[in-house]
Amino acid sequence: MSEPLQVKGFAWLNLLSFVKEKHGAAALQQLASAFPEHRANFDTHAVMPISWLPGAMHLGAVSWVVNQFYGGTIEGARRFGGELAARNVSSTFSSFARLEDLKVALSSTERAFGTFYSRGHMKLSLVGDVLDAHLSEFPDANPLFGNVLGAGLISFLHAGHIEGELLHVTTTADSIHYQVKLRSMPGSSPSPVPFSARK
């Protein structure tokens, strides 16, 4: 039997901090009340950034936030995903701002996913100006969460000086597939080439 999905503590703490900063302490209390079985994990002083926490709790909290504050729509999920990822990039992944090479930026974005979740494999490939991203072996994938992650991908690329537009998000029970139209890339790579981040 496969191991259940887990999320890293720093990602969970970032979500809680975002909710409090963006929507207020009362919203954070409402979110905690929606998950009474996980109340201990809402004590930010008790959660270690390097610890693993239940992934189902994390996915459920993300859906709750989208439904409560972003209209429960795909567009709302993308807006929330972009805002949340921007907070991550500005703190935990601030080093992305120093990336100046297209291949390095893409491979760094691919590797960053593995620091968030215990399950799932992200593979990026670039042909022409379309970036293809495939997340496989990711349990409980769903359209709302898929679009939250898709918008997060755009934010991570932006931090690496790559501007892109999310074209398509397709989800199955255990995979998410993205297509991103690249608009501009780091100066050291003026034109995209066929590329796979994995060797």
Biggest CA–CA distance in the chain, Å, is: 51
Helix (H, G, I), strand (E, B) or coil at 160: coil
Closest by CA position to 66, among listed 159, 149, 176, 188? 149
Q: Which two tokens stand for residue 120?
A: 């799932």
The pLDDT of residue 188 is: 41
Closest by CA position to 194, among listed 122, 97, 125? 125
Residues 29 and 66: their CA atoms lie apart, in Å, by 16
pTM for this predicted structure: 0.83
Residues 144 and 105: their CA atoms lie apart, in Å, by 26
For β-strands 6-8 and 163-171, DSSP reports them as unpaired
> Which segment, 17-26, 121-130, 183-192, is predicted with the most confidence on average?
17-26
The pLDDT of residue 102 is: 62
Residue 178 backbone class (left: φ over 0; alpha: ψ -120 to 50; beta: rest)? beta
The pLDDT of residue 101 is: 58
The pLDDT of residue 160 is: 72
Residues 198 and 187: their CA atoms lie apart, in Å, by 22
What percentage of the chain carries pLDDT values higher than 90? 60
> Which segment, 19-28, 85-94, 104-113, is predicted with the most confidence on average?
19-28
